[in-house]
């Protein structure tokens, strides 16, 4: 097992990988990287600077220079708490569009690597196992059917008092899946990962499955 172990959890939008990854990190006492939040922060920072997806060189410097901070479950951009703002449907869509730009992906690499600290890291995203941490100890591809993912997203929004239509959510999820899996650079892919379909699993069952795989691996190398 590498000196600082990484558990990479990749998967499509609204698959629940964030919740599972965070809980796995907590159970192991590892650090946690929500790489999607970084792409969302770039989208927000670009909007603040009035940049669009065609302003590639400015977007690249913005990506490298933005002051992004994660602290006690909160996300800060240039010192402002943007925890809720980065979860908006607008930010989800823009992040997925900007994430297709190789300059932005390259600009975020060092930031992501910096999260790999003792005693270990659980990282979730689309390319954690394929590009950012190719030597991860465990690579999981966490997914669920699009109908289940739309329903989970619907319930999350409902809990926040936000109304949404299942039809729009399904369409949005299908569009984002196509963009995230169809782009030429670092597409979402299952290759080399253990697939965990959570369609009929609870969060606890999903967490236990990942923890079980990780301890199996630890036993094999010890
Ligand atoms: O995981 P998320 O839904 O918060 O990610 C938001 C967008 O960022 C997603 O549509 C695709 C992009 N993303 C990516 O391309 N690579 C990652 N490692 C994480 C997210």
Confidence of residue 163 (pLDDT cuts 50, 70, 90): confident
130 lines ligand 1 (CB under 6 A): no
Give pLDDT, residue 18: 94
Q: Which residues does 129 contact at the CB level (< 8 Å), separation at least 6?
A: 8, 10, 136, 139, 140, 141, 192, 193
The response to whether residue 153 sits with its C-beta less than 6 Å from ligand 1 reads no
Residue minimizing CA distance to atom 15 of ligand 1: 99
Task: Look at residue 173 and give its three-state secondary structure.
Answer: helix
The pLDDT confidence band at residue 46, using thresholds 50, 70 and 90, is very high
pLDDT at 221 over 90: no
Q: Is any ligand 1 atom within 6 A of the Cβ of residue 96?
A: yes
- Of 36, 46, 140, 185, the residue with max ligand 1 atoms within 8 A of its CB, to mutate for a pocket test, comes to 36
Given a contact cutoff of 8 angstroms between Cβ atoms, the answer to whether 6 and 134 are in contact is: no
* pLDDT exceeds 80 at position 222: no
Q: Is the pLDDT of residue 17 over 70?
A: yes
Q: Which atom of ligand 1 is nearest to the CA of 128?
A: 18
* Residue 2 scores a pLDDT above 80: no
**Whose Cα sits closest to atom 16 in ligand 1?**
126
Q: Return the percent helix, strand and coil in the chain, to nearest 5.
A: 50, 15, 30
Q: CA angle at residue 72 from 130 to 91, to 5 degrees?
A: 55
Q: Whose CA is nearest to atom 20 of ligand 1?
A: 36
Instruction: State which H helix or E strand residue 113 sits in.
Output: helix 102-113
Which pLDDT value is given to residue 219? Answer: 81
Q: Beta strand pairing status for 6-10 and 121-125?
A: parallel
Per DSSP (E only), the strands in the chain are: 6-10, 31-34, 68-71, 74-77, 80-81, 121-125, 138-143, 194-197
Ligand 1, atom 1: nearest CA belongs to which residue? 36
133 Cβ below 6 A of ligand 1: no
The pLDDT, as a whole number, for residue 156 is: 85
Ligand 1 centroid, distance to 195 Cα (angstroms): 18
Residue 30 in this model has a pLDDT that exceeds 90:
yes
**Nearest protein CA to atom 12 of ligand 1, as residue:** 96
Query: What are the residues whose beta carbons fall under 8 Å from the beta carbon of 110, sequence distance 6 or more?
Result: none
Nearest CA to ligand 1 atom 5: 36
Pick the closest to residue 40 from 120, 124, 113 (CA basis).
Answer: 124
Q: How many CB atoms lie within 10 A of CB 215?
A: 12
Name the band, by pLDDT with cuts 50, 70 and 90, for residue 14. confident
pLDDT at 63: 97
Asked whether 120 and 33 are in contact (CB, 8 A), the reply is no
| Mean pLDDT to the nearest integer, 181-200 | 91
pLDDT in tens, 115-158: 999 999 999 999 999 999 999 999 999 999 999 999 998 998 88
Instruction: Answer positive or negative: Cα dihedral of 13, 18, 21, 24.
Output: negative
Rg of the Cα trace of the chain?
17
Q: Which domains does the chain have, with CATH numbers?
A: 6-221 (3.40.50.300)
pLDDT tens digits along 176-188: 899 989 999 889 8
């Amino acid at each position: 097992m590498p000196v600082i172990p990484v558990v990479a959890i990749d998967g499509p939008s609204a698959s629940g990988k964030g919740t599972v990854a965070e809980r796995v990190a907590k159970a192991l006492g590892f650090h946690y990287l929500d790489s999607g939040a970084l792409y969302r922060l770039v989208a927000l920072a670009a909007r603040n600077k009035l940049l669009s997806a065609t302003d590639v060189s400015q977007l690249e410097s913005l990506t490298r220079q933005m002051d992004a901070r994660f602290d006690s479950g909160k996300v800060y951009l240039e010192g402002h708490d943007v925890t809720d703002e980065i979860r908006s449907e607008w930010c989800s869509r823009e992040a997925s569009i900007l994430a297709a730009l190789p300059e932005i992906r390259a600009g975020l690499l060092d930031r992501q690597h910096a999260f790999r600290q003792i005693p270990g890291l659980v990282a979730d995203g689309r390319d954690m196992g394929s590009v950012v941490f190719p030597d991860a100890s465990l690579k999981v591809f966490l997914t669920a059917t699009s109908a289940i993912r739309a329903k989970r997203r619907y319930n999350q929004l409902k809990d926040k008092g936000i109304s949404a239509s299942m039809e729009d959510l399904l369409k949005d999820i299908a569009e984002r899946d196509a963009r995230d899996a169809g782009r030429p650079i670092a597409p979402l892919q299952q290759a080399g990962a253990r697939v965990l379909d959570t369609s009929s699993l609870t969060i606890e069952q999903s967490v236990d499955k990942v923890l079980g795989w990780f301890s199996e691996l630890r036993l094999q190398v010890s």
